[in-house]
A and B are shown apart, each in its own frame.
Chain A
């Protein structure tokens, strides 16, 4: 376990947990650990109780010979890196059947079949595939208002990225490209300016500045990305979108 890996993971898991969408009701423990920069036992235990995120880390770790909280493991899951390429799709498929809570097994089978087995255990893929395999909405055939709601959900729930334009007391103004759903296809939209929350007490946000690229989750700036991470999140997100669009097309 590395301190940096736990903190990186916690930064990205924090906001949906705060909103009540996943994980245990332990947001105080996670926030305190982030602000102190010290991942205590309580924070680690809380992160181990996330129903999907933690099993995904275990999947990546066991296929790459890493520890679960080795920095590269949560980095692979949330942002994307070469570790994702080392998880065999059959293992990901088996994992989705046997270890992942909340997944309908028939939908999982149909999804992997529609993708010809080409899938990576990347958070954005998980988000997009959950929408795409939703039976009632019939993937490509949803109506306009539903498309708008689903597009917003996908964009909030995936990890996105933005370039800081201005730094305020509790908010950053960033320029980012949303994922949009239109005509039953996902795509990265045109760049937009938006305001997101951040916590100056969490390193390195005390020194965040214009031009930094930050990762975003549910309208919250999670971390400042380095150059390689900024390239990777765009690369893996585009890959996820292309795979999901292929699956959606196969259902038409």
Chain B
């Protein structure tokens, strides 16, 4: 299954990007054309598609929530 993850655009070319996620992993060939994300933007990625752009404060809040769930054992 896929999970919606928030990350930062590390490279971008012609609407395709490499996105670095909060957990240290990254994904190449993410389609960011729909949200027109530029280098450094924070995006929410589902599968290989960026669904939305986030502000820095929104991204930080999502990171805190992600870390919180991780601490509670959300990753099983």
Q: Which of A91-127 contact B (CB under 8 A)?
A: 98-105, 123, 126-127
Selected A-B contacts with CB under 8 Å, 9 pairs: A16-B1, A19-B48, A50-B75, A130-B4, A130-B46, A134-B51, A149-B34, A153-B48, A157-B1
Count of residues in A whose CB is under 8 Å from the partner chain? 41
Q: Judge whether A22 and B3 touch: CB under 8 Å.
A: yes
Q: Contacts A21-B3, A149-B34; is A102 near B66 (CB within 8 Å)? A: yes
Binding site for A on B (CB under 8 A): 1-6, 25, 27, 31, 34-35, 44, 46-49, 51-53, 62, 65-66, 69-70, 72, 74-76
| B45 vs chain A, min Cβ distance (A) | 9
Besides A103-B4, A149-B49, A156-B47, 6 new A-B residue pairs in contact (Cβ under 8 A), listed by A number: A22-B3, A49-B75, A58-B76, A99-B74, A102-B5, A157-B46
Q: Mark A44-70, 1 if CB is under 8 A from B, else 0.
A: 000011111111001000000000000
CB-based closest 7 A-B pairs: A136-B52, A48-B76, A54-B76, A102-B4, A134-B51, A21-B2, A52-B3
Interface centre among B3, B51, B66 (most CB of A within 10 A): B3
From B3, B25, B53, A101 is in contact (CB under 8 Å) with B3
| A137 vs chain B, min Cβ distance (A) | 6
From A16, A54, A58, A98, B2 is in contact (CB under 8 Å) with A16
Residues from chain B with a CB closer than 8 A to the CB of A141 are none
**A131 part of interface (Cβ distance < 8 Å):** yes
Q: Judge whether B52 and A55 touch: CB under 8 Å.
A: no
Interface centre among B1, B4, B74 (most CB of A within 10 A): B1
**A13 part of interface (Cβ distance < 8 Å):** yes
Residues from chain A with a CB closer than 8 A to the CB of B52 are 134-137
Q: Contacts A51-B74, A54-B75, A104-B62; is A99 near B2 (CB within 8 Å)? A: no
| A104 vs chain B, min Cβ distance (A) | 7
